[in-house]
C-alpha cells in the first residue's frame, strides 16, 4: 500500500469513526430506556459477572498466559500476537483513562451535575469513554487483525462485555461506541507497529488461522 493510499484510508477511517460516535449520541436516551425496560434479577446478576471478569486485568492475565504457553511451545508468532494483544489493551486503557478523567461526563445513574463537567477524579463522572469496552476491543481487535477467523469467532465476547456496561446503566451508548472506536484504533496502531517490526516471524506456517 502506497503512502498516499494509506493516508486516505486513515482519513476515511477517522471520518467514519467520528460520524459513528456523533450519531450514537442521538440514541443515548432511547437505548438507556430500552435496557431499563428489560431488566431482570437473573440477567442483572449475569451482567455483573460479565463486567467483573471483562475488565482489563483479566485480559492482561489471559494474554500473558497465552504468551507463556506460546513461549514454552516455541510458537514465536503466537508469542508476538499475545504480547501485542496485551500491549494494545494497556495502551487503550491508559489513553481512555486520560480521556474520561478530562471529559468528566456523568454516568447515566448520576442525578447531580449531569453532563460534561471537565476534569474530575470521581468515578461517577468517568463515563466517556467506556474503559471496559476500550480494553476488550483493543485486546480482541488485535487478535482479529492478526488471525481473522479466530478473531471473528471470539467477537461475541467483547460485544457482550460492552453490552453489560449498558445493561448495568454504567455508560451511555455513545460512551460504549467511543470506547470501541478508541480500542480498535489502539489495536490497529499497535498491530501495525508490531507487524512492521516482526513480520518475518508472523508468517509461521504452523499458526495460520
CATH number of the domain residue 56 falls in: 1.20.144
DSSP per-residue letters across 53-93: HTSHHHHHHHHHHHHHHHHHTT-HHHHHHHHHHHHHHHHHH
Residue 61 and residue 69: Cα distance in Å, rounded?
12
Confidence of residue 3 (pLDDT cuts 50, 70, 90): low
**What angle (nearest 5°) sits at the alpha carbon of residue 15, between those of residues 145 and 173?**
80
Residue 178 and residue 19: Cα distance in Å, rounded?
11
Q: Which residue has the higher pLDDT, 50 or 7?
A: 50
pLDDT digits (tens, 9 = 90+) for 119-138: 988 899 999 999 999 999 99
This prediction has a pTM of 0.91
* Residue 46 burial (10 A CB sphere; 0-12, 13-18, 19+): middle
171 neighbors 131 (Cβ within 8 angstroms): no
Cell numbers describing residue 91:
495502551
The answer to whether the Cα torsion of 155, 20, 162, 43 is positive or negative is negative
Q: Which residue has the higher pLDDT, 68 or 3?
A: 68
pLDDT digits (tens, 9 = 90+) for 178-187: 999 999 999 9
Cell numbers describing residue 196:
512492521
The total number of structural domains in the chain stands at 1
Domain residue limits at 37: 3-207
Confidence of residue 201 (pLDDT cuts 50, 70, 90): low
Beta bridge partners, 105, equal 116
pLDDT digits (tens, 9 = 90+) for 6-23: 778 878 888 999 999 999
77 neighbors 204 (Cβ within 8 angstroms): yes
Q: What are phi and psi of 50, to 5 degrees?
A: -60, -45
Confidence of residue 153 (pLDDT cuts 50, 70, 90): very high
Amino acid at each position: 500500500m502506497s503512502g498516499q493510499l494509506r493516508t486516505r484510508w486513515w482519513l476515511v477511517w477517522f471520518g467514519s469513526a467520528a460520524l459513528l460516535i456523533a450519531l450514537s449520541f442521538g440514541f443515548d436516551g432511547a437505548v438507556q430506556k430500552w435496557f431499563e425496560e428489560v431488566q431482570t434479577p437473573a440477567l442483572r446478576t449475569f451482567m455483573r459477572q460479565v463486567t467483573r471478569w471483562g475488565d482489563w486485568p483479566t485480559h492482561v492475565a489471559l494474554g500473558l498466559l497465552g504468551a507463556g504457553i506460546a513461549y514454552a511451545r516455541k510458537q514465536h508468532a503466537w508469542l508476538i500476537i499475545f504480547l501485542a494483544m496485551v500491549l494494545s489493551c494497556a495502551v487503550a486503557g491508559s489513553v481512555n483513562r486520560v480521556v474520561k478523567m478530562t471529559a468528566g461526563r456523568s454516568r447515566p445513574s448520576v442525578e447531580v451535575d449531569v453532563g460534561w463537567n471537565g476534569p474530575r477524579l470521581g468515578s461517577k463522572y468517568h463515563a466517556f469513554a467506556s474503559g471496559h469496552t476500550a480494553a476488550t476491543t483493543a485486546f480482541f481487535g488485535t487478535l482479529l487483525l492478526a488471525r481473522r477467523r479466530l478473531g471473528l469467532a471470539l467477537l461475541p465476547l467483547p460485544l457482550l462485555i460492552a453490552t453489560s456496561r449498558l445493561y448495568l446503566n454504567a455508560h451511555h451508548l455513545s460512551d460504549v461506541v467511543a470506547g470501541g472506536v478508541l480500542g480498535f484504533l489502539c489495536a490497529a496502531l499497535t498491530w501495525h507497529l508490531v507487524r512492521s517490526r516482526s513480520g518475518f516471524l508472523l508468517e509461521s506456517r504452523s499458526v495460520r488461522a
